[in-house]
Chain A
Amino acid sequence: MRRISTIIMAIALGIFCFSVSSLPAIGDKNSAPNTHITPYYIENSAKDTGSPNIVTAVLADYRGFDTLEETTVMFLAGLTTVLVLSAEKKEHNTKKHHKNSGQEMEKTTETMPEAAKVEKEAEKR
């Protein structure tokens, strides 16, 4: 499994390096984005969006959907981090529990995610 993923990553890296070399140079006047969409933003963004800041106009108005995804991804990444870290912590606490006071343990079982509970029960069987 590990070898396969390494090979896939190596291939992806090769494709990446190859495609970077064919990108237009930064600041190239004749590249596709600089001849079509950039002049349009510069000319019309203030009139269209009422925002004198072109960056904000593009970020929040023309490309609003993209920013929505960005926000969702950030929220989900934070949620995942919290879930992963706190799940590890709870396992640690349950091992410790037999020696320590039971107060903290009660709290952890209350907030334990359903999936973890089901897993625990399955282990017992």
Chain B
Amino acid sequence: MRKPFGGVVLDSAFRVIVPFTIIYGIYVLTHGEFSPGGGFQAGALLAVGVVLARLVQGENAKFNIKGTHAVMLAGLGAFLYAFTGILPMFFGGNFLEYSYLPVHLHETAEIHAFGILMIEIGVTLTVMMTIIDIMDVLVKKGDSDE
């Protein structure tokens, strides 16, 4: 897929759809505590933006994440989750016990909310980058088969 799919229609549709998708993804991520949503859904939505950019604008798309970077970032997301779990252990809590996180917030519930947000970001990164990974490697495979 070295040549992009783009035409006039696709390019303009892309410019309208992708910003909304990404803003909606970030909304779903940050409001996961209050409304339906969360890391998995947000990751899928954010990945759609990158995948569309790759499909419409080709390999030189400005809004693109390469396969190797995506693998690293997916690992980073899983690490962020595990790190949020391990961090309370250094401050006297158990694994994933958010109330022992070293954050200066007044209420325990707020610290819990912060911990939940941290792990949601980790999940989002992993899901998004895994989707981009698989897309990238499939595209490369298609190129080499041609």
Contacts and interface: CB of A to CB of B under 8 A. Distances in A.
B36 A86 contact: no
Interface stretch (A6-14, A16-24, A31-39, A87-95): A87-95
Contact of A71 (B34, B35, B78): B78
Nearest to B35: A53
A79 B34 CA distance: 32
Interface in A74-107: 74-75, 77-79, 81-82, 85-86, 88-89, 92-93
A82 B137 contact: yes
Nearest to A92: B144
B17 interface: no
30 contacts: A49-B109, A49-B116, A50-B33, A50-B107, A50-B108, A50-B113, A51-B33, A51-B112, A52-B34, A53-B35, A56-B32, A56-B38, A60-B116, A60-B120, A61-B115, A65-B85, A65-B95, A68-B96, A71-B77, A71-B126, A74-B130, A78-B74, A78-B129, A81-B137, A82-B133, A82-B137, A85-B137, A85-B141, A86-B140, A92-B145
A71 to B, nearest CB: 5
Contacts of A92: 144-145
Contact of B78 (A60, A75, A88): A75
Contacts, number: 111
Interface of B: 32-36, 38-39, 67-68, 71, 74-75, 77-78, 81-82, 85, 95-96, 98, 107-113, 115-116, 119-120, 122-123, 126-127, 129-131, 133-134, 137-138, 140-141, 144-145
Given A75-B130, A92-B144, 11 more contacts: A50-B113, A56-B116, A61-B98, A64-B96, A68-B96, A71-B78, A74-B126, A78-B130, A85-B138, A86-B137, A111-B68
